[in-house]
Structure 1
Amino acid sequence: MSYVGRLREREQQIGRPVRVGLVGAGQMGRGFVAQVSRISGMHLSAVADVQPQLGFDALRSAGYEKVASGPAAQVVESGGSVVVSDALELVDLPIDIIVDASGVPEVGASVAFNGLLAGKDIALLNVECDVTVGFVLSNLAQQMGRVYTVCRGDEPAECKALIDYVRDVGFEIACAGKGKNNPLDPTATPDSVAVQAAAKHMNPKMLASFVDGSKTMIEMAALANATGLSVPRRGMTGPHSTVEGLADTFRPKSEGGVLDRTGVVDYCTGPVAPGVFVIGYCPDEVVTAEMEYLSMGKGPYYAFYRPYHLASVEAPLTVAEAMLDRTPSLAPTTWTAEVVAVAKRDLAAGDRIDGIGGETVYGITDDAAVAAAEELVPLGLVAGARVLRPVAQGTPLTTQDVELDDTTTIAHLRKLQDKLLAARPAAAQWPATAALSA
């Protein structure tokens, strides 16, 4: 039975739809509200935004009629929708799952941690949070019988679905990744992309995080940590490719490709965007003959390609998976990749770091063990940090370069996560069922 059919059946059985709470009514949040309104058996019961009017506008434009500002719990219980200004207010409401679309690592960490403790399932449209503390949050969720997940619709979850398929049919994974529609510009800032952002009706910081490459690095790190794949090198490879050329591009250098080794995540520029891809490997002569007959090429490397990802349009599928199947769409099972902060310009002692998509830093993906050994600073922790000594443009920040704000929820969770990971053999894949007391 389809998810829609099962959601309707669930509503008939318990007498109400799945109650969804949303953090953030920006571009992604508005799209999510609109989609949920079209799905039977699912109801957007609460929206939290520091600008409450955005929440009211999103709900009303999606056709929600019973929208109020309080008393919140009573409104939700009666089948209405409520708007609040504090994301943590959602934790105490009678809702089933909280979806965070804030894009702010600290907000995501605080909502996820407190929501799990309150018995809610957690779904993130906030990959920035996942690549910083997703391992410990996934541990906590499993031990509490809850679901922690990154949402469908963004590249990591959709690419993981392809990886699962390719593995399930018996192929090895040579590479998996996404297309990027333009070359990286690590110097991009909100000011430099302001005109383009206005034309696209986007937040300039969000667009800057796309253009400077941070978002791509974050997405591929999340994919690596959810699948056990590794990072080919700092910053990945990022060649140009066409869809037709994927299997030739992402194969070992010894066979004419760009890879130093297989079993990695990567990205490419060119017309592969906005799709995701997996390069499967199978040397079996019977299989290669069949694949050639099926117009998949001569092999032994084959491109499996999905030409789209639908962002907030697909995100409600994760709510259904969590509520009906009790499974995550994507969550860390290993910690092979880290996204570290790199100076976007020359930084001077006393400067303040403004975070992802800002004026001061961008992110690059690196091997997690290398990042730990070199004491590189995770991108998701660096907002608000004070620079302690000069850092040249293009240099990864270390813990000696900046003073981090260690009072935040995300900083506390990261310390716990680091202890969990440090207790495990460096060569081992770290299962997400590790005991929190480790």
Structure 2
Amino acid sequence: MSYRARLAAREAEMGRPLRVGLVGAGQMGRGFAAQLLRTPGVTLSAVLDVQRERAEEALAQSGLAISAAETTDQAVLAIENGESVALGGIDELGALPLDVVVEATGVPDVGARVALQSLLGGIGIATLNVESDVTVGRLMAEVATKSDAIYSVCRGDEPVEAKILVDYARDLSFDVVCAGKGKNNPLDVYATPESLASRAAEKQMNPKMLCSFVDGSKAMIEMAALANTTGLGVSKRGMHGPPSTVPTLHQTFALKEDGGVLDKAGVVDYCTGPVAPGVFVVVRTEDPYVNHEMTYLQMGDGPYFSLYRPYHLASIEAPLTVFEMALDHRASLTAEHWTAEVGAMSKRALSAGETIDGVGGSMVRGLIDDADDFVRDGAVPLGVLAGARLTRDLPVDHMLTYDDVELDESSLIVGLRRLQDQSVEGSMPTLDELTALVASG
């Protein structure tokens, strides 16, 4: 039975629709809201944004009546009565009677706070914030298990759609050589929000968001999430990112001894060119008859073949994760492994005393790395660097380490990352300790 039919049946059985809360009423959030409400049996019960007027606009755009609730108690009552509320803060998020919260801010610290508050309140969290996931996603998955809730990265972005292809290939007993995404153009690793201001205005995008795409940070983050959910490794620090086309994917991402770019199999990478906006998996089989069948089916000439999905629909597909969580009680993507990290490479010479402006800024760009190499080199995750102060002068193209910065210890994601690192060593924090951490922030 389709999700649409099952959601309608659920509403008939329970006497109310699935209640969804949205945090972040920007481009992604509004796209999600518009698509969500096309489905029967679902409502948008709450929109929360630091700019409350944006939350109100998102609800109005969706055609929903907005409650005049000002307090948490009023908001709870309004939601239980079938109304929708617009709120300007997230402090009482966990107290709202919601079934699933969707986080769409793109800010790592906010994403971590929303995820933690939702999980501690026993509410499932579906995040569009992959930046947060590659920083503390492993901890969030553990918190979800302890809270008897679900944490998931949303469908529609490349990591989940590529993961689906990886699972498909593995279910067919193929060897996965490489999984990844297409990117429209080669990276401009020194791009800044200022240099992209006119392009951002034309696209009606936040300049920092556009910059995170152009300087490669987003690709590094997305492929790290894919690695951490599938257990695949990193092809090399920063990945190869060669040009390719759909018909030549299986040639491009073959091993070097077979004419491709890869030193090893079982990795993530990306390519530039007309493969975008799709995702792919390059597989290999040594079985002569399977090789023959795949060649007959025009999937290549073997032993390498490529599986390709020509699109990802971003916030338009994101509701599928909400439905999957609510009806099937499972996540679309969670960090079952931790094979990749995303560090920070300086875009220009940096001076001691400067404060780092974070993802998509003018100072650093994201760079994917093997998790073990990352720890060995003392590298610092990109997701904890916003607001960090440089302790010494650094040259351009320098990968930042913990010795290079003083982190903003008031940032929740910094504290959560420290707890994640401790939990890897076997000391998982209790829910009470996590609750206290949220309260202190």
Q: Same fold (TM over 0.5)?
A: yes
For the aligned pair, the TM-score class normalised by the smaller chain equals over 0.9
**Aligned counterparts of 1:67 and 1:359: Cα–Cα separation in 2:** 41
Paired with 2:425 and 2:339, the residues of 1 have a C-alpha distance of 13
* C-alpha contact 1:348 1:391 (8 A) present in aligned 2: yes
Q: Is the 8 A contact 1:100 1:111 kept in 2?
A: yes
Q: Is the 8 A contact 2:59 2:66 kept in 1?
A: no
Contact 1:343–1:397 (CA under 8 A) maintained in structure 2: yes
Report the counterpart of residue 18 of structure 2 in structure 1: 18
Letter in 1 for 2:242: P
Say whether 1:299 aligns with 2:299: no
Superposition pairs for residues 163-178 of structure 1, below 5 Å? 163-178=166-181
> Hey, what does 1:37 align to over in structure 2?
37
| Equivalent residue in structure 2 for 1:79, among 78, 82, 101 | 82
Distance 1:215 1:36 in 2: 25
Instruction: In structure 2, list runs of 5 or more residues that go unmatched.
Output: 431-441
| 1:60 Cα deviation from its structure 2 partner | 1.3
Secondary structure class of the residue paired with 1:389: coil
Query: Alignment partner for residue 344 of structure 1, among 335, 342, 347?
Result: 347
Q: Deviations over 1:142-170 (max 9, x none)?
A: 12221100000000011101111111111
User: 2:191 aligned with 1:181, yes or no?
Assistant: no
Structure 1 residue 121 displacement after superposition: 0.4
1:377-403 deviation per Cα after TM superposition (whole angstroms, max 9, x unaligned): 100000000000011111011111110
Instruction: Give the residue type in structure 1 aligned to 2:101.
Output: I
Identity rate of aligned residues, in percent?
56
Alignment partners' CA distance in 1, 2:30 and 2:123:
22
Cα offset, 1:69, TM superposition: 4.2
The reply to whether residue 97 of structure 1 matches residue 105 of structure 2 is: no
Gaps of 5+ in 1: 424-433
The residue identity in structure 2 corresponding to 1:38 is: R
Give the structure 1 partner of residue 335 of structure 2: 332
Take 1:242 and 1:69, find their aligned partners in 2: how far apart are those partners?
A: 53
**Matched residue SS, 2:282:** strand
- Aligned partners of 2:75, 2:424: CA distance in 1, in Å? 40
Instruction: Tell me what 1:430 maps to.
Output: none
Q: Please give the residue correspondences for 1:211-222 in structure 2 after superposition, counting only pairs within 5 Å.
A: 211-222=214-225
Conserved in 1, the CA contact under 8 Å of 2:156 and 2:316? yes
Distance, in Å, in 2 between the alignment partners of 1:49 and 1:9 is 31
Are 1:263 and 2:266 counterparts? Answer: yes
Q: Aligned match of 2:204 in 201, 206, 210?
A: 201
Contact 1:47 1:55 in 2 (8 A): yes
AA aligned opposite 2:378: E
SS at structure 1 position matched to 2:308: strand
Contact 1:241 / 1:249 at 8 angstroms: preserved in 2? Answer: yes
Quick one: distance in 1 between partners of 2:127 and 2:309? 22
Deviation of the 1:435 alpha carbon: 5.7
What SS does the aligned partner of 2:403 have? Answer: coil
What is the match of residue 2 of structure 2? Answer: 2
Find the aligned partners of 2:417 and 2:405 in 1 and give their Cα distance: 16
Question: 1:308 Cα shift?
Answer: 0.3
1:296-320 Cα shifts (integer Å, max 9, x gaps): 1211111100000000000000000
User: CA-to-partner distance for each residue in 1:246-288, whole Å, 9 max, x for gaps?
Assistant: 0000010000000000000000000000000001111101101
1:247 maps to 250
In the TM superposition, residue 67 of structure 1 has moved relative to its aligned partner by 4.5
Corresponding residue for residue 429 of structure 1: none
For residues 35-89 of structure 1, give each alpha carbon's deviation from its aligned partner in whole angstroms, at most 9, with x where no partner exists: 1110111111101111111111112112213444442112211111111011233
* 1:47 alignment counterpart: 47
- Alpha-carbon offset, residue 436 of structure 1: 5.1
Q: Segments of 4+ in structure 1 off by > 6 A?
A: none
Letter in 1 for 2:347: K
Which one-letter code corresponds to 1:311 in the other structure? Answer: A
1:415 to 2:404 alignment: no
Answering whether residue 377 of structure 2 is matched by residue 369 of structure 1, we say no
Q: Is the 8 A contact 1:37 1:63 kept in 2?
A: no
Matched, 1:121 2:108: no
| Matched residue, 1:65 | 65
> Does the 8 Å contact 2:66/2:86 carry over to 1?
no
Q: Secondary structure at the match of 2:335?
A: coil
Report the AA paired with residue 65 of structure 1: A
Aligned AA (1:271): P
Moved more, 139-148 or 25-34: 139-148
CA distance in 2, matches of 1:215, 1:68: 38
Paired residue total: 427
Q: Which stretch shifts more, 329-338 or 400-409?
A: 400-409
Indicate the SS of the match to 1:88: coil
1:46 alignment partner, SS class: strand
CA distance in 1, matches of 2:376, 2:68: 51
d(CA) in 2 for partners of 1:275, 1:37:
26
Compared CA separation, residues 348 and 66, structure 1 to 2 (3 A): closer
Quick one: distance in 2 between partners of 1:377 and 1:45? 38
Contact 1:56 1:67 in 2 (8 A): no
Tell me the amino acid that sits aligned with residue 57 of structure 2: D
Matched, 1:288 2:291: yes
**Separation in 2 of the partners of 1:122 and 1:382?**
24
The CA distance in 2 between the partners of 1:236 and 1:69, in whole Å, is: 49
Alignment match of 2:403 (pick from 378, 400, 403): 400
Whichever residue aligns with residue 153 of structure 1, its letter is: G
1:155 corresponding residue in structure 2: 158
- Aligned letter for 1:243? V
Normalization by structure 1: what TM-score?
0.96
Shift of 1:90: 2.2
2:341 is aligned with 1:319? no
Partner of 2:435: none
Q: Distance in 1 between matches of 2:429 and 2:113?
A: 18
Q: SS in structure 2 opposite 1:110?
A: helix
**SS state of the match for residue 277, structure 1?**
strand
- Separation in 1, partners of 2:267, 2:228: 11
For 1:357, the equivalent position in structure 2 comes to 360
* Aligned position for 2:387: 384
Counterpart code for 1:42: V
CA distance in 1, matches of 2:146, 2:172: 31
Check the 8 A contact 2:342/2:381 in 1, yes or no: yes
- Measure, in 2, the Cα distance between the counterparts of 1:292 and 1:13: 50
